[in-house]
Structure 1
Amino acid sequence: MSRVIHVFRQPDRFVAGTVGEPGDRSFYLQAMESARTISVLLEKQQVSVLAERITALLGEVGKRFGSDVAAEPSAGESDSDPLAVPLEEEFRVGTMGLGWDADSSSIVVELLAVSEEEIDESVVLDDTDEGPDALRVFLSPSAARAFADRAEKVVSAGRAPCPLCAEPLDPEGHVCVRLNGYHERNPVTEAE
């Protein structure tokens, strides 16, 4: 079967979002252009890494091509709306690619579907017929910055981290690995 590459050259919207309660959330990236919407499922860590890498790439592009390239998002580009529904997952993300397209002065984000076969790096950001399905989105620098800002907020909106081990604290309780399962006993209450 031939590979499907969903390309969004001028997306109206490209956002990270979640469905579910903290501790049981599913993370999605959603691209919209005109009447077309594509949603892909991925892990929280993937969203975090993508936001970090986009921010780093914008910094590098700013150094090489000028500070106006890495501009802050305008008020119209900040997006705090929920994901569009119905939410239909196109695929689960396995490999992610990121690049700079000098011709269009755009950040290019490519998300490839999970594949049982090993992915050859040459299929990332390439139009070859062989390989996993992909979502390829072109973002202006300010839209990329807006995406990264929102993605960081979405990731950090989950459960609070434990001050000792940084693992998420559950409402039911938390066994901290830094305490090695040991809870100090109060000798006064034991004597009673």
Structure 2
Amino acid sequence: MPVHDFDPPERFVVGTVGPPGQRTFFLQALSGRRLVSMSCEKEQVQILADRVNDVLDQFADDAATASPEDNDPLATPIEDEFRVATLSLAWDPTRAVVVIEAFDADIPEAGDDDEEATDVPEEFLESMASRQSVRVVLSPLQARSFVRRARALVSSGRPPCPFCGGPLDPTGHICPRSNGYKR
């Protein structure tokens, strides 16, 4: 399984391409000349930011320290290596760092749950060998900076409708609370 390891990265950010409502979200890790971009869903970014913040609140001692903001655009070229299907998050207490892993596909089923079965299906092994992943190790300051940028980016989308809470397009939307009339 190809693993892109960034321990630590010079930069780990989230960014978007496209107008609100049609944005594609990207996670990007940069170290030297090595750049990996992964496309993902807005909800994945939002949940990752929330969970990283929870981990930092629980384990890190950086509450009073401010880190510099990274408001630069995504590095180019913006071509995704893969689409993120699974994210994992961990805290390494020996190094006091956050570890984020992104995988390109869900782990396939290895067959039935028979404890005596020792044969692993060949298609399982092939799918595991072709999987890609990215592993990023962040200091608490880098992780806090990532959380701030991710939250700002997620909240900068389309404004919510005051009646139904659904996203408003620049041309309005058909609001179910107003009996289908455009506002």
The corresponding residue for 1:87 is 78
Distance 1:48 1:148 in 2: 9
Which residue of 58, 61, 73 corresponds with 2:59? 61
Distance 2:104 2:128 in 1: 13
Distance 1:174 1:157 in 2: 18
How many residues are treated as equivalent by the alignment? 165
**1:181, distance to aligned residue in structure 2 (A):** 2.4
Which residue of 20, 23, 42 corresponds with 1:22? 20
Q: Secondary structure at the match of 1:59?
A: helix
Cα-to-partner distance string for 1:129-156 (whole Å, 9 max, x where unaligned): 9363111100001110000000011111
The corresponding residue for 2:150 is 151
Q: Secondary structure at the match of 1:51?
A: helix
The corresponding residue for 1:7 is 5
**1:111, distance to aligned residue in structure 2 (A):** 0.8
1:74 partner amino acid: S
The corresponding residue for 2:175 is 176
Q: Secondary structure at the match of 2:84?
A: strand
Q: Give the 5 Å matches for 1:35-184.
A: 35-62=33-60, 68-70=61-63, 72-75=65-68, 78-115=69-106, 117-118=108-109, 130=128, 132-181=131-180
**1:88, distance to aligned residue in structure 2 (A):** 1.5
Q: Is the 8 A contact 1:23 1:158 kept in 2?
A: yes
2:108 partner amino acid: E
Distance 1:34 1:91 in 2: 20
What's the C-alpha RMSD, in Å, of the aligned pairs? Answer: 2.1
Cα-to-partner distance string for 1:43-76 (whole Å, 9 max, x where unaligned): 11111111111111111114xxxxx24554422x
Identity %: 47
Question: Structure 1 residues 72, 130: CA separation in 2 closer, same or farther (over 3 Å shift)?
Answer: farther
**TM-score, normalisation: structure 2:** 0.82
Q: Secondary structure at the match of 1:130?
A: helix
Question: Structure 1 residues 44, 182: CA separation in 2 closer, same or farther (over 3 Å shift)?
Answer: same
**1:164, distance to aligned residue in structure 2 (A):** 2.5
The corresponding residue for 1:188 is none
Structure 2 alignment gaps of length 5 or more: 111-126
**1:95, distance to aligned residue in structure 2 (A):** 0.8
Cα-to-partner distance string for 1:84-117 (whole Å, 9 max, x where unaligned): 0111101000111001012221001111113483
Q: Is the 8 A contact 2:82 2:104 kept in 1?
A: yes
**1:173, distance to aligned residue in structure 2 (A):** 1.6
Q: Is the 8 A contact 1:111 1:136 kept in 2?
A: yes
Structure 1 alignment gaps of length 5 or more: 63-67, 120-128, 184-192
